[in-house]
Protein backbone atom coordinates (compact mmCIF):
# COMPACT_ATOMS: atom_id res chain seq x y z
CA UNK A 1 0.00 0.00 0.00
CA UNK A 2 1.24 3.49 -0.93
CA UNK A 3 1.87 5.96 1.90
CA UNK A 4 1.00 9.23 0.20
CA UNK A 5 -0.15 10.12 -3.28
CA UNK A 6 -0.29 13.25 -5.44
CA UNK A 7 -3.80 14.54 -6.14
CA UNK A 8 -4.51 16.90 -9.03
CA UNK A 9 -7.83 18.77 -8.96
CA UNK A 10 -8.69 20.64 -12.15
CA UNK A 11 -11.87 22.22 -13.40
CA UNK A 12 -13.87 25.29 -14.38
CA UNK A 13 -13.83 28.61 -12.54
CA UNK A 14 -15.76 28.58 -9.26
CA UNK A 15 -16.75 24.93 -9.49
CA UNK A 16 -15.77 24.08 -5.93
CA UNK A 17 -12.27 22.76 -6.72
CA UNK A 18 -10.63 24.68 -3.90
CA UNK A 19 -13.27 23.66 -1.37
CA UNK A 20 -12.72 20.02 -2.32
CA UNK A 21 -8.92 20.24 -2.51
CA UNK A 22 -8.69 21.98 0.88
CA UNK A 23 -11.01 19.47 2.54
CA UNK A 24 -9.06 16.53 1.06
CA UNK A 25 -5.75 17.97 2.24
CA UNK A 26 -7.11 18.54 5.74
CA UNK A 27 -8.56 15.04 6.02
CA UNK A 28 -5.47 13.32 4.61
CA UNK A 29 -2.98 15.68 6.31
CA UNK A 30 -1.47 16.55 2.93
CA UNK A 31 -0.10 19.87 1.70
CA UNK A 32 -2.68 22.00 -0.13
CA UNK A 33 -1.56 24.30 -2.96
CA UNK A 34 -3.96 26.74 -4.63
CA UNK A 35 -2.21 27.29 -7.96
CA UNK A 36 -4.85 29.82 -9.06
CA UNK A 37 -3.79 32.06 -6.17
CA UNK A 38 -0.31 32.19 -7.70
CA UNK A 39 -1.69 33.40 -11.06
CA UNK A 40 -3.83 35.88 -9.12
CA UNK A 41 -0.72 37.10 -7.26
CA UNK A 42 1.09 37.83 -10.53
CA UNK A 43 -2.07 39.50 -11.90
CA UNK A 44 -2.37 41.72 -8.81
CA UNK A 45 1.27 42.77 -9.08
CA UNK A 46 0.77 43.66 -12.78
CA UNK A 47 -2.51 45.46 -12.05
CA UNK A 48 -0.86 47.64 -9.42
CA UNK A 49 1.94 48.51 -11.83
CA UNK A 50 -0.54 49.36 -14.59
CA UNK A 51 0.73 46.58 -16.84
CA UNK A 52 -2.66 44.94 -17.22
CA UNK A 53 -6.18 46.34 -17.60
CA UNK A 54 -9.45 45.10 -19.04
CA UNK A 55 -8.33 46.14 -22.52
CA UNK A 56 -4.54 45.69 -22.56
CA UNK A 57 -1.75 43.47 -21.20
CA UNK A 58 1.92 44.47 -21.35
CA UNK A 59 3.37 40.97 -21.63
CA UNK A 60 7.01 42.05 -21.83
CA UNK A 61 6.90 44.16 -18.62
CA UNK A 62 5.32 41.24 -16.78
CA UNK A 63 7.83 38.73 -18.18
CA UNK A 64 10.86 40.97 -17.47
CA UNK A 65 9.80 41.44 -13.87
CA UNK A 66 8.84 37.90 -12.93
CA UNK A 67 11.85 37.61 -10.68
CA UNK A 68 10.70 40.60 -8.61
CA UNK A 69 7.51 38.77 -7.72
CA UNK A 70 8.01 36.68 -4.61
CA UNK A 71 5.07 34.41 -3.85
CA UNK A 72 4.73 32.42 -0.62
CA UNK A 73 1.97 30.59 1.15
CA UNK A 74 1.89 31.07 4.90
CA UNK A 75 -0.50 29.60 7.37
CA UNK A 76 -2.35 32.31 9.28
CA UNK A 77 -4.86 29.96 10.96
CA UNK A 78 -4.86 26.16 11.29
CA UNK A 79 -5.92 24.66 7.94
CA UNK A 80 -5.63 27.98 6.10
CA UNK A 81 -2.75 29.21 3.95
CA UNK A 82 -2.74 32.80 2.70
CA UNK A 83 -0.84 34.06 -0.31
CA UNK A 84 1.91 36.60 0.39
CA UNK A 85 3.14 38.82 -2.42
CA UNK A 86 6.58 40.25 -1.66
CA UNK A 87 5.88 39.82 2.05
CA UNK A 88 2.35 41.34 2.01
CA UNK A 89 -0.70 39.24 2.79
CA UNK A 90 -2.83 39.67 -0.37
CA UNK A 91 -5.26 36.80 0.22
CA UNK A 92 -8.30 39.11 0.31
CA UNK A 93 -7.21 41.35 -2.54
CA UNK A 94 -6.52 38.55 -5.03
CA UNK A 95 -10.13 37.31 -4.72
CA UNK A 96 -11.63 40.66 -5.78
CA UNK A 97 -13.43 40.95 -9.11
CA UNK A 98 -10.83 43.46 -10.41
CA UNK A 99 -8.22 40.69 -10.22
CA UNK A 100 -10.64 38.02 -11.53
CA UNK A 101 -11.25 40.22 -14.57
CA UNK A 102 -7.58 40.26 -15.65
CA UNK A 103 -6.13 37.02 -14.30
CA UNK A 104 -6.99 34.82 -17.28
CA UNK A 105 -5.16 37.20 -19.63
CA UNK A 106 -2.05 37.03 -17.42
CA UNK A 107 -2.37 33.23 -17.29
CA UNK A 108 -2.11 32.99 -21.09
CA UNK A 109 1.53 34.22 -21.00
CA UNK A 110 3.85 31.28 -21.64
CA UNK A 111 6.72 32.60 -19.51
CA UNK A 112 4.40 33.28 -16.57
CA UNK A 113 3.14 29.71 -16.79
CA UNK A 114 6.64 28.23 -16.95
CA UNK A 115 7.76 30.27 -13.94
CA UNK A 116 4.74 29.24 -11.86
CA UNK A 117 4.77 25.60 -12.96
CA UNK A 118 8.41 25.34 -11.75
CA UNK A 119 7.38 26.76 -8.37
CA UNK A 120 4.35 24.46 -8.19
CA UNK A 121 6.48 21.37 -8.88
CA UNK A 122 8.88 22.39 -6.10
CA UNK A 123 5.99 22.81 -3.67
CA UNK A 124 4.69 19.34 -4.43
CA UNK A 125 7.80 17.34 -5.22
CA UNK A 126 7.81 15.25 -2.04
CA UNK A 127 4.27 13.89 -2.63
CA UNK A 128 1.38 14.07 -0.20
CA UNK A 129 0.03 17.11 -2.02
CA UNK A 130 -3.38 18.21 -3.25
CA UNK A 131 -3.07 20.95 -5.86
CA UNK A 132 -5.95 22.61 -7.64
CA UNK A 133 -5.96 24.59 -10.89
CA UNK A 134 -6.45 24.14 -14.62
CA UNK A 135 -3.34 22.26 -15.81
CA UNK A 136 -2.34 20.26 -12.75
CA UNK A 137 -3.18 16.82 -14.15
CA UNK A 138 -2.10 17.70 -17.70
CA UNK A 139 1.13 19.67 -17.14
CA UNK A 140 2.24 20.18 -13.53
CA UNK A 141 1.83 16.60 -12.29
CA UNK A 142 1.03 14.39 -15.31
CA UNK A 143 1.91 11.34 -13.19
CA UNK A 144 -0.44 12.21 -10.32
CA UNK A 145 -2.00 9.05 -8.91
CA UNK A 146 -5.42 10.69 -8.69
CA UNK A 147 -6.73 13.28 -11.14
CA UNK A 148 -10.11 14.84 -10.53
CA UNK A 149 -11.91 17.00 -13.08
CA UNK A 150 -14.53 18.99 -11.23
CA UNK A 151 -17.52 20.49 -12.97
CA UNK A 152 -20.90 22.05 -12.15
CA UNK A 153 -23.69 23.85 -13.97
CA UNK A 154 -22.69 27.46 -14.79
CA UNK A 155 -25.74 29.02 -13.09
CA UNK A 156 -25.03 27.08 -9.92
CA UNK A 157 -21.38 28.14 -10.04
CA UNK A 158 -22.34 31.81 -10.53
CA UNK A 159 -24.79 31.70 -7.63
CA UNK A 160 -22.19 30.14 -5.31
CA UNK A 161 -19.50 32.69 -6.24
CA UNK A 162 -22.00 35.57 -5.94
CA UNK A 163 -22.93 34.49 -2.42
CA UNK A 164 -19.28 34.11 -1.47
CA UNK A 165 -18.39 37.61 -2.73
CA UNK A 166 -21.47 39.13 -1.07
CA UNK A 167 -20.59 37.51 2.25
CA UNK A 168 -17.21 39.23 1.98
CA UNK A 169 -18.95 42.57 1.53
CA UNK A 170 -18.21 42.94 -2.21
CA UNK A 171 -20.69 45.04 -4.15
CA UNK A 172 -21.24 42.96 -7.28
CA UNK A 173 -24.19 41.74 -9.35
CA UNK A 174 -24.90 38.10 -10.22
CA UNK A 175 -24.80 39.05 -13.93
CA UNK A 176 -21.26 40.45 -13.55
CA UNK A 177 -20.18 37.28 -11.73
CA UNK A 178 -21.69 34.98 -14.38
CA UNK A 179 -20.21 36.96 -17.22
CA UNK A 180 -16.75 36.86 -15.58
CA UNK A 181 -17.05 33.08 -15.10
CA UNK A 182 -18.03 32.47 -18.71
CA UNK A 183 -15.29 34.73 -20.00
CA UNK A 184 -12.65 32.98 -17.86
CA UNK A 185 -13.92 29.51 -18.84
CA UNK A 186 -13.61 30.49 -22.48
CA UNK A 187 -10.12 31.97 -22.12
CA UNK A 188 -8.85 29.16 -19.88
CA UNK A 189 -10.06 26.38 -22.17
CA UNK A 190 -9.11 27.90 -25.53
CA UNK A 191 -5.69 29.46 -24.80
CA UNK A 192 -2.66 28.12 -26.63
CA UNK A 193 -0.51 27.43 -23.56
CA UNK A 194 -1.70 24.50 -21.45
CA UNK A 195 -5.45 25.07 -21.73
CA UNK A 196 -7.89 23.56 -19.28
CA UNK A 197 -8.52 20.03 -20.53
CA UNK A 198 -9.95 16.90 -19.08
CA UNK A 199 -7.22 14.28 -19.37
CA UNK A 200 -8.21 10.71 -20.31
CA UNK A 201 -7.19 9.41 -16.91
CA UNK A 202 -9.15 12.02 -14.92
CA UNK A 203 -12.28 11.16 -12.97
CA UNK A 204 -15.12 13.62 -13.62
CA UNK A 205 -16.88 14.88 -10.54
CA UNK A 206 -20.04 16.90 -11.25
CA UNK A 207 -20.97 18.55 -7.97
CA UNK A 208 -24.01 20.55 -9.21
CA UNK A 209 -26.23 18.65 -6.80
CA UNK A 210 -23.69 17.55 -4.19
CA UNK A 211 -22.93 19.25 -0.88
CA UNK A 212 -19.27 19.89 -0.04
CA UNK A 213 -19.44 16.93 2.35
CA UNK A 214 -20.85 14.61 -0.31
CA UNK A 215 -18.24 15.55 -2.89
CA UNK A 216 -15.53 14.96 -0.28
CA UNK A 217 -16.92 11.46 0.37
CA UNK A 218 -16.78 10.62 -3.36
CA UNK A 219 -13.20 11.86 -3.60
CA UNK A 220 -12.09 10.03 -0.46
CA UNK A 221 -13.37 6.73 -1.90
CA UNK A 222 -11.20 7.34 -4.98
CA UNK A 223 -8.20 8.15 -2.79
CA UNK A 224 -8.70 4.85 -0.91
CA UNK A 225 -8.71 2.93 -4.21
CA UNK A 226 -5.55 4.67 -5.40
CA UNK A 227 -3.74 4.05 -2.12
CA UNK A 228 -4.50 0.32 -2.44
CA UNK A 229 -3.36 0.01 -6.06
O1 LIG B 1 -8.73 28.89 -9.66
P2 LIG B 1 -8.82 30.40 -9.82
O3 LIG B 1 -10.14 30.88 -10.31
O4 LIG B 1 -8.39 31.12 -8.58
O5 LIG B 1 -7.74 30.74 -10.97
C6 LIG B 1 -7.53 32.05 -11.41
C7 LIG B 1 -7.13 32.06 -12.87
O8 LIG B 1 -5.82 31.54 -13.01
C9 LIG B 1 -8.01 31.26 -13.80
O10 LIG B 1 -8.92 32.09 -14.50
C11 LIG B 1 -7.06 30.59 -14.76
C12 LIG B 1 -5.71 30.69 -14.14
N13 LIG B 1 -5.12 29.41 -13.73
C14 LIG B 1 -4.42 28.72 -14.68
O15 LIG B 1 -4.35 29.14 -15.82
N16 LIG B 1 -3.76 27.58 -14.33
C17 LIG B 1 -3.83 27.11 -13.08
N18 LIG B 1 -3.17 25.98 -12.76
C19 LIG B 1 -4.60 27.79 -12.10
C20 LIG B 1 -5.25 28.94 -12.47
**Residues near 117 by beta carbon (within 8 Å), at least 6 away in sequence:** 135, 139, 140
16 lines ligand 1 (CB under 6 A): no
191 lines ligand 1 (CB under 6 A): no
pLDDT of residue 204: 97
The residue contributing the CA closest to ligand 1 atom 15 is 107
CA 213 to ligand 1 center in whole angstroms:
24
Q: Which helix (H) or strand (E) holds 175?
A: helix 174-190
134 lines ligand 1 (CB under 6 A): yes
pLDDT of residue 229: 80
95 lines ligand 1 (CB under 6 A): no
pLDDT of residue 225: 95
Taking the domains of the chain in order of start, what are their residue ranges? 6-228
Alpha-carbon torsion, ordered 23, 108, 103, 44, to 10 deg: 110
The pick from 133, 137, 148, 180 for probing ligand 1's pocket by mutation, whose C-beta has the most ligand atoms within 8 angstroms, reads 133
Give the mean pLDDT of the chain. 94
Class of domain 6-228: alpha beta
Give the number of other Cβ atoms within 10 Å of residue 37's Cβ. 21
The residue contributing the CA closest to ligand 1 atom 13 is 36
CA 202 to ligand 1 center in whole angstroms:
18
The residue contributing the CA closest to ligand 1 atom 3 is 13
pLDDT of residue 77: 77
How much is the average pLDDT of 171-180? 94
42 lines ligand 1 (CB under 6 A): no
How much is the average pLDDT of 124-142? 95
pLDDT of residue 126: 85
107 lines ligand 1 (CB under 6 A): yes
Residue 1 has pLDDT above 70, yes or no: no
Please count the helices (runs of H) and the strands (runs of E) in the chain: 8, 8
Q: How confident is the model at residue 175 (pLDDT cuts 50, 70, 90)?
A: very high
**Residues near 81 by beta carbon (within 8 Å), at least 6 away in sequence:** 32, 34, 73, 74, 75
pLDDT digits (tens, 9 = 90+) for 179-216: 999 999 998 999 999 999 999 999 999 999 999 999 99
CA dist 80 and 23 (Å) reads 11
pLDDT digits (tens, 9 = 90+) for 80-119: 789 999 999 999 999 998 999 999 999 999 999 999 999 9
Nearest CA to 132 among 6, 1, 222?
6
Amino acid sequence: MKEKITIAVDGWSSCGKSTLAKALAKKLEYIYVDSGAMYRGVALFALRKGWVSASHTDNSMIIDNLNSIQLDFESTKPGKADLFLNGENVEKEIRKIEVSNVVSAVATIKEVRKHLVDLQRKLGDSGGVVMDGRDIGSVVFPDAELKLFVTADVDIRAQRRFEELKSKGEDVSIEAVKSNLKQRDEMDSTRKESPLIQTDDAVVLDNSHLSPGQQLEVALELVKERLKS
